[in-house]
Every structure is written in structure tokens, then in C-alpha cells.
Amino acid sequence: MQSMTNSTDKSQKKKTPKKKGPIRFEAVTPIAVIIGLMIAYFVLFFDSHLRRALEYGMTLANGAEVNIGNLTTSFKGGSLDIRKIEVTDSQEPIKNFVEIGQIYFELSWDALLRAKFVIDEASLNGLQIHTPRKRPGRVIPEEPEDPSKGPSLADQAAKKMFKMAEDQFQSNALGDLAAMLQGQDPTAVLKNIEGELKASLRAKELEQEFKKKEKEWKERLASLPNAKEFEALGQRVGKVQLGGWKSPQDFQNSLKEIQTIIGEADQKIKNIQSTAGSLQGDVGQFEKSIKELDQLAKQDFEDLQKRIKLPSLDVKDLAKNLFGKMIHEKTSNYQKYIEMGRKYMPTKKAEGEKPPPLTPHERANGKNYRFGRPNSYPLFWLKRAQLTSKAENSPFGGEIDGVLKDATSDPVSLGRPTQITFKGDFPGQGIRQVNSQIILDHTKEEARDWFKVGVGSFPISGRSLVESPDVKFGFAKAAGATEVTGELKGGIVNLMSDTKFGQINYLVESPNRDVVDILKGVAQDIPLVTLTAGVQGPFTDLRWDIRSNLAGALQKAFEKQIQAKIEEAKKKLEAFVKGEIEKYRGQLQAEFDKVKGEIEREIAKVKGEAEKAKQMAEGRVQQARDTVGQEEKRKVEAKLAEERKKAEAQTAEERRKAEAKAAEERKKAEKKAQDEGQKALDELKKKIKF
């Protein structure tokens, strides 16, 4: 019984759940497990994953495979140690553009706690260039540009400019000269391109167009008012009654009729003027099109010069053709790095300049505000990096000593430009006295990138300046020395390079003995080749100036032999173009002139008739007005005379009446005076009793 009671108590005890507090103490184990797993991840896998992520990102940025041999991070020290970084050369994937033995740096924990990456001191060791790869590096193919996400208009224009320059330097002037010297007549191919000229094609088009236009013009001319219409107007004017009106209403009617006729004539004149104006404009436009054939002919001439490879003996052109491609290859590579630098090192925004409005689409996007203040950490700041490298008997190694200072993602708030200076030699590759100074000043509104790179000596091997079936010319072996100074400020490039090639072993090959002799002669006279190149202007409109003593020497050597042939070929070419155009143009011009004359005459005739009819109507109006004026005058004068007579008669009658009245008054007064006198006399008589 006792045991039963105990078991019931136990089950009741079991059923009553234990009251749990607000804190979940049982979660300690899962949290500990999670933290343990995280630590395990960082210890075992993080370095490997970071290495792969860096490889992926750097490959995308470089456009060719980047490999990292080993990467080690230290949480405690905040350090990163990267070893054997191989950057594939995208132009030559079997080689590395650069290989770095080790990069080591320690991140400042003070900055890391503020989500910033600040490196007080970094070191870069074991720098080698153009090392061979174990296997060719993967090159990322250029993606077709998406117009909605593609590069800016400026970038597109710059790319276009580089493409134009590339095309410009593709020509092979020396090869063409050699071919001509061999006796080839470049104009021989002209017969195959008859009828392909832009000017002659346009002339043909104009001929067809003219036939349509001629019909149209004639139709428009026919729609103009003709002589009969104006004669009819004249007759109507003649029939209008001028004078002898019985009432003012008659006069008004005549005047109204004439004014209606004048209105009609005016309308017709306006119609003629408008039609004639548009017709003459159209004719003028067509005449302009015919004149434009001259421009097209000029263009055809220039195009044909290129097409038949008519060489130029201009020194500047020769220098461009010889060295342009080589210089262009070097300079076009810079643009990619300039754009990259500007993206990650933004300049100060000009006042009033606001970033484009941002509409977030994906989760966690948005806009990040920066609340900078003086002396605060930027997001990334590499204070100083020591570049040291020893050749250590490696054929690709370099003896380098350099410093990189203040590389930052926010140069504006840091207020310091990035500076890179290094000196070095690559003895294994024969590159000596490399001296470089680079300043990337993005601290102000207008970025200024400046650099000066000098190489005391570098080897050249198998560098073809000209390569064609007719001639191969270049440096089989030479030693070069160069100094390049460049500046990019406000989108304007200013690049100057001064290069000298000495100890030259020229490469001269040609099936033509004369060409070989000329080129060997030039080679003997020019033991030191100087090359001065300048590139100036915005990326969209770069001006190239390339000068070389080699070009001058080649020009002189070829001039005697070939100048006459070139001039002769030019004349032939000019005559060919002229002849092709004249086939169509002469007839077209004659027909056009004839039609134009007809149109102008017809318009003048119609205009004259219209003016004549209008003048006639206006004359009749004046006549009517004059007639009306004379009759009115006569009537008024008659009325005035009658009125005057009436007034005179009335005046005479009134005068007569006044005189009669005055006479009567006078008589009355005289009688009264006489009576009063008599009366006074009688009274006097009575008084004196006479």
C-alpha cells in the first residue's frame, strides 16, 4: 500500500512540469556548439575560402587568371600573409605579368573594431616580372557591352578613339614603298573598282532623283496661275463702270468690285511667291547635292590612296607608321588602370554636384552615408608599404627597393596623395636602372595623376617595325633607354616619352634587292634611333605626335627613288576619280541647268503678269477715285455759288429794309423835332404874348 502511495506521488511529481524561468539556460549548450563550430570554421576553412575569393575577385579585375599559392590569417595579430601571387598576362597567358613572392601586413585592431581596414606597415617581397607559368592562365573573354549597364559615354568615346588610333597605325607605309619600288603600279587595280566610287554612286542616284524631281517641279510649275487668268482679271477690271454714277451706291459698288479683283490678284501673287520660293529652294537644294559631289570625289581620292596603298613620304606619317602601333599598345593599357584607380579612389565632389538618385532593388542595398571627420580612419588605408625584392639568382627576379605611401579609399578626408617610388634592376632580363615616381592626387575636386618612369637600359629582341610580304624591317637586337612623363588632369592626358635605341642589329628582309640596299644604307647611317612621342588631349580626342630620326632617314633614302612614281600615281588616281564622276555629272549638270533656267523664266513670267494685272486694277481704282473727286468738287462749287447768291440777295433785302426803316425813323424824328419846336415856339409866343 505504502509502495502504491509512493508510486502515485512519483507519477504526480512527474506530471507537474517544472516552472521554467525567463532565461533559457538549456540554450547554453547549443550556443557553445555554434561558437565552437564558428571557431572551427575560421581555424580550418576560412583561409582557404578567403584565398579562393581573392583569386576570383582579382581574376575578374585583371581580366586574366590570378593565383595565390598560400594565404594565412591570424585573428590575434590581425595579420594577413599571402604568398606566391601570380598575375597572368592577358596578352600572353603562358607568362605572368607579375609574380609576387610574399605580401605581409597587419591590420590595426583599433580600426578593425570600427569596421575599417588600416595597415600601418606592409611588405612586398620577391617581385618578378614575365615569369613563365606552369600552365597557361585563363583569360576572361570580354563580355558584350550591355547598353543599359555598359560604360559611360565618355568611356565609349575613349574606346572608339583608341580603336581609331589603332586603325590609323595599322598601315604599312614602308611595305607599300617597297612594293612600289619593285615596280608595282598601284593604279593597276583601279579598273576593277570602276563604278564603286562614292561620288559616282551618288551621281547615279542624283540622276535618278533628278528625273523624279523634274517631273515634280514641272507639275508644281503648271499649278501656278496662268496668263489667261490674269487676262480675265484685266477684262473684269475694264468692265467696271468708272464715272457717270447715278447715285453714291453705284460708286460704292464699282469700288467694291475693283477691290475684290485686287484681292484676287494679291492672293494669286502670294500663291506664286510661295510656290516659287519652295520650288527655288528645292532646286537650290538639288544644286547643292550636285556640288557635294566634289567633296565626295575628294574623299574618294583619299580612300583610294589608302586602298591602293599609295605610300606617303611625309616624315611624320612614316614615324607614325613605324612606331605608332608600339606606342599605342603601351598607352592603351594605361587607361584600364586609370579607370580602376579613379573608381576606388574617388575625388571630392564639386559643390552642388549630387550623386545620382538611388533606387534600391535588391535586399541589403541602399545608400551608405559617411560621417567623416578630420583624422578619422578611412575605410581602407595602407599607410606605408615597403617594396623590397632580391633577384636571388632568379632569371626573372628584380633588385627592387620602393615605397608606397597612403593608398586609401578616401583620399579627400585623408588629405594625402598616394605616392609610389621605386628603383630597381632586373639583371636576369637585362632591365636596369628602373626609376619611377608616381603621385596619385585625388584629394581635390580635380584628380591629378602624375608619373615619371625611366629605364636606363632594356633589351629589345625581334621587334618588327614593319612587316609585310614586301619588306620586314625592325630591330633584331637592340638596347633601349626611355624616360616617360605623364599627367592626367581634368580628363586631359599629357604624355611625353623620349626613347633611344642603340647597339642596333637591324632586321632587314625583302625579296627586292634595291629595297634591302636602301634599308641597309639607312641602317648604317643611323646607329642610334631616337624616338620622341607625345600624346595630348582628352581620351576622346587624343593628338599623337611621333618623331624619329629613322623616319627622316627613310624618307630621304626613298625620296629620290620613288617620289616621281608616287606623284605619277597620284595624278592617275585623280584623273580616274574625275573621269568616273564626269561620266554622270556632266550630263546631269547640263540637264539640271536647262530645267533650272526654264523654271526661273516661267516663274519670272508669271510673276510679271500677276504684277501687271494688279497694277492695272490699282490704276482703275485711282481713276475711279479721281472721277468721283471731280464730280463732287463740281457739285460743291455749284452749291456754294447758289448759296452765295442767296446770301447776297438776302443781304441786299435786309439792307434795303434797314435803310427804309432808318428813313422812316429819321422822318419821324424830324417831324417830332419839328412838332416839338413848333410847340415850344407857340409856348414862347404865349409867354411873350406875341
Binding site for another protein (CB under 8 A): 15, 20-24, 27, 30-31, 110, 113-116, 358-361, 363-373, 376-377
Closer to another protein at the Cβ: 4 or 358?
A: 358
In the complex, minimum distance from the CB of residue 359 to another protein, in angstroms, rounded to a whole number: 7
Q: Provide, rounded to whole angstroms, the least separation between the CB of residue 346 and another protein.
A: 17
Task: Identify residue 115 by its one-letter amino acid code.
Answer: A
Asked if 547 contacts 529 with a C-beta cutoff of 8 angstroms, the reply is: no
Q: At what angle do helices 513-525 and 173-181 cross, to 10 degrees?
A: 130
Nearer to another protein, 191 or 367 (CB): 367
Q: How far is the CB of 546 from another protein (least distance, A)?
A: 51
**Least spacing, CB of residue 59 vs another protein, in Å:** 24
Quote the least distance from Cβ 369 to another protein, whole Å. 5
CB of 376 to another protein, least distance (A): 5
Is 153 or 364 the residue whose CB approaches another protein more closely?
Answer: 364
Nearest to 579 by CA among 569, 568, 590, 571: 571
Q: How far apart are CA 567 and CA 194, in angstroms?
A: 21
> Running DSSP on this structure, what letter comes out for residue 361?
-
- Smallest distance, Å, CB 381 to another protein? 14
Strands 472-489 and 492-509: antiparallel
Closer of 116 and 585 to another protein (Cβ): 116
- Pick 108 or 280: Cβ nearer another protein: 108
Cell triple for 244: 457717270
**Cβ 372 to another protein shortest distance, Å:** 8
101 in the Ramachandran plot: left (φ > 0), alpha (ψ -120 to 50) or beta?
alpha
What is the smallest separation between the CB atom of 3 and another protein, expressed in angstroms?
21
Give the span between the Cα atoms of 385 and 143, in whole angstroms.
Answer: 35
For another protein, give the closer residue by CB, 369 or 690: 369
* Contact between 395 and 425 (Cβ < 8 Å): no
Closest contact distance (angstroms) between CB of 119 and another protein is 18
Q: How crowded is residue 344: how many other Cβ atoms within 10 Å of its Cβ?
A: 12
To another protein, the closest distance from the beta carbon of 146 in angstroms equals: 23
Cα dist from 216 to 205, 223, 595, 598, 602, whole Å: 17, 11, 12, 14, 15
Q: How far is the CB of 112 from another protein (least distance, A)?
A: 9
Q: Which is nearer to another protein, 34 or 140 (CB)?
A: 34
CB of 88 within 8 A of CB of 62? yes
DSSP lists the bridge partners of residue 261 as none
Residue 658 grid cell: 434797314
Q: How far apart are CA 15 and CA 72, in angstroms?
A: 56
Strand, helix or coil for residue 347: coil
Residue whose C-alpha is closest to residue 118's, from 72, 61, 78, 82: 78
Q: Report, in Å, the least distance between residue 342 CB and another protein.
A: 23
User: Which is nearer to another protein, 1 or 358 (by Cβ)?
Assistant: 358
The one-letter amino acid at 533: A
Q: Closer CB to another protein, residue 27 or residue 188?
A: 27
| 446 closest CA partner among 488, 406, 414, 404 | 488
- Choice between 110 and 205, CB closer to another protein: 110
- Give the shortest CB-149-to-another protein separation in angstroms: 20
Cell, residue 160: 572608339
Nearer residue to another protein within complex by CB, 21 or 352: 21
* Degrees to nearest 5, angle at CA 467 with 463 and 470: 140
Closer to another protein by Cβ: residue 110 or 294: 110
What 3-state class would DSSP assign to 117? Answer: strand
Residue among 25 and 690 whose Cβ is closer to another protein: 25
Quick one: DSSP state of residue 396? T
Tell me the C-alpha distance between 454 and 92, whole Å. 24
d(CA 621, CA 629): 12
Using the minimum distance from each CB to another protein, give the nearer residue, 33 or 658: 33
Q: How far apart are CA 552 and CA 314, in angstroms?
A: 9
Nearer to another protein by Cβ, of 13 and 20: the residue is 20
Say how many C-beta atoms besides its own lie within 10 A of residue 63's C-beta: 14
Min separation Cβ 7 and another protein, Å:
16
- N- to C-terminal Cα separation, the chain: 209
Q: Which residue has the cell 510656290?
A: 275
Cα separation of 300 and 491, whole Å?
Answer: 35
Residues 6 or more apart in contact with residue 186 via CB below 8 angstroms: 176, 179, 180, 308, 309, 310, 569
392: left (phi over 0), alpha (psi -120 to 50) or beta: left
